[in-house]
Amino acid sequence: MSNRPNSPRWYGIPWRVLLATVLGTLICFAISLLIGILGTVVVSVIRGVHPDMRVAYRLVALPIGIAAGTIIFVVALVMEIRHYRQARVLSSIENSGSRAAPRIAIPLPHSTDHKYGKRAISQYERAVVLAGGEPVRIPLDRSAEEVTSLMAACDGVLLPGSNADVDPVRFDQQKSPHSAAADLRREEVDDLLLEHAYRSRKPVLGICYGLQSLNVFRKGSLIQHIPDSLPEATRAKVNHEAGRKVAVAHQVEIVPSSLLAAVVAANGTTHLPVNSSHHQSADGIGEGLQVAARCTDDGIIEAVEGTDADHFVLAVQWHPERSVDDDDSSQRIFRALVEAANSRKSTPGSATHS
> Which residues are catalytically annotated?
208, 319, 321
CA distance 147 to 68: 52
Q: Which amino acid is at 307?
A: T
Q: Contact 224/168 with Cβ under 8 angstroms? A: yes
Give the chain's radius of gyration (CA, Å): 26
Q: Contact 147/138 with Cβ under 8 angstroms? A: yes
Question: 12: part of which helix (H) or strand (E)?
Answer: helix 12-47
| 3-class secondary-structure state, position 251 | strand
Q: Left if phi > 0, otherwise alpha if psi is -120 to 50, otherwise beta: which for 124? A: alpha
Question: 253: part of which helix (H) or strand (E)?
Answer: strand 250-254
| 3-class secondary-structure state, position 224 | coil
- Beta strands 250-254 and 289-295: pairing type? antiparallel
Q: Contact 318/276 with Cβ under 8 angstroms? A: yes
Largest alpha-carbon pair distance within the chain?
A: 94
Q: Contact 107/193 with Cβ under 8 angstroms? A: yes
274: how many CB neighbours lie within 10 A of its CB?
23
